[in-house]
């Protein structure tokens, strides 16, 4: 337990700072999202034409993220993919909750990949089992343009990551009366 706290308090922030200052890979956020949207729209063109249902890039993006993250309804799958269990449930009276944040530290970097969220958010479900409620993106800011999820800009900061960053909650699996991208959900409680 002390080793995990040491990792979260000292080692992870130091590694993130080192990564943010030494990263030389392409940090453009547009290609990953743009290619995803182009592929999804091309794939769904015939379906939309025959069904008469209009598709929008944002709705296709949301569907793609749901497909990419559906396996993380199983916490065993999340652990196997590198997401680290966290027993701290986040909630604020009057705002609601965020639940338990399971972060994959290897994904916390300056690159936004909509199909690889940095965190899975869980809440206590029936029988005390965790249920997947949302995903969260965390993108280190090294001077690139602010990421966008469809038409939604990321929030500045918002996590305990000790370097400049953006974050965005996307409530894919739990309705949020405050909005799909609001940080807190009044339907979620840690009680």
pLDDT for 6-43, tens place per residue?
Answer: 334 444 444 433 333 333 333 344 434 444 444 433 43
Selected residue with higher pLDDT from 138 and 28: 138
Distance in angstroms (rounded) separating the CA atoms of residues 7 and 85: 13
Q: Please indicate, yes or no, if residue 187 is contained in any of the structural domains.
A: no
Coil vs helix vs strand at 185: strand
Q: Please indicate, yes or no, if residue 101 is contained in any of the structural domains.
A: yes
What's the domain count of the chain?
1
Per residue in 52-70, pLDDT (tens digit) is: 334 455 589 999 999 999 9
Per residue in 167-183, pLDDT (tens digit) is: 999 999 999 999 999 99
Distance in angstroms (rounded) separating the CA atoms of residues 110 and 186: 30
Q: Please indicate, yes or no, if residue 106 is contained in any of the structural domains.
A: yes
- Is 120 buried (19+), middle (13-18) or exposed (0-12) by CB count in 10 A? buried
The pLDDT of residue 40: 39
- Lowest average pLDDT, out of 29-33, 97-101, 141-145, goes to 29-33
The pLDDT of residue 191: 80
Q: Please indicate, yes or no, if residue 181 is contained in any of the structural domains.
A: no
Q: Please indicate, yes or no, if residue 188 is contained in any of the structural domains.
A: no
The pLDDT of residue 39: 41
Q: Which domain holds residue 88?
A: 31-46+54-170
Residue 51: is its pLDDT beyond 80?
Answer: no
Residue 97: is its pLDDT beyond 70?
Answer: yes
Q: Please indicate, yes or no, if residue 92 is contained in any of the structural domains.
A: yes
Q: Is the pTM of this model over 0.85?
A: no
The pLDDT of residue 58: 59
Q: Please indicate, yes or no, if residue 63 is contained in any of the structural domains.
A: yes
Residue 159: is its pLDDT beyond 50?
Answer: yes
Residues 61, 37: contact at Cβ < 8 Å? Answer: yes
Chain-wide mean pLDDT for the chain?
A: 79
Q: Please indicate, yes or no, if residue 185 is contained in any of the structural domains.
A: no
Identify the helix (H) or strand (E) that includes residue 50. Answer: helix 30-51
């Amino acid at each position: 337990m002390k080793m995990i706290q040491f990792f979260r308090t000292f080692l992870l922030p130091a590694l993130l700072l080192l990564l943010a200052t030494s990263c030389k890979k392409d940090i453009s956020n547009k290609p990953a999202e743009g290619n995803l949207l182009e592929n999804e729209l091309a794939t769904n063109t015939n379906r939309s034409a025959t069904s008469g249902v209009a598709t929008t890039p944002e709705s296709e993006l949301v569907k793609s993220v749901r497909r990419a993250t559906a396996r993380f309804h199983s916490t065993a799958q999340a652990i196997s993919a590198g997401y680290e269990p966290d027993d701290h449930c986040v909630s604020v009276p009057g705002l609601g909750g965020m639940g338990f944040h399971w972060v994959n530290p290897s994904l916390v970097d300056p690159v936004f990949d909509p199909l690889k969220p940095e965190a899975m958010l869980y809440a206590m479900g029936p029988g005390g089992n965790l249920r997947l409620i949302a995903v969260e993106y965390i993108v280190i800011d090294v001077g690139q343009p602010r990421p966008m999820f469809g038409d939604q800009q990321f929030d500045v900061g918002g996590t305990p990551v000790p370097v400049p960053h953006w974050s965005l909650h996307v409530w894919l699996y739990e309705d949020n009366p405050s909005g799909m991208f609001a940080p807190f959900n009044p339907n979620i409680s840690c009680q």
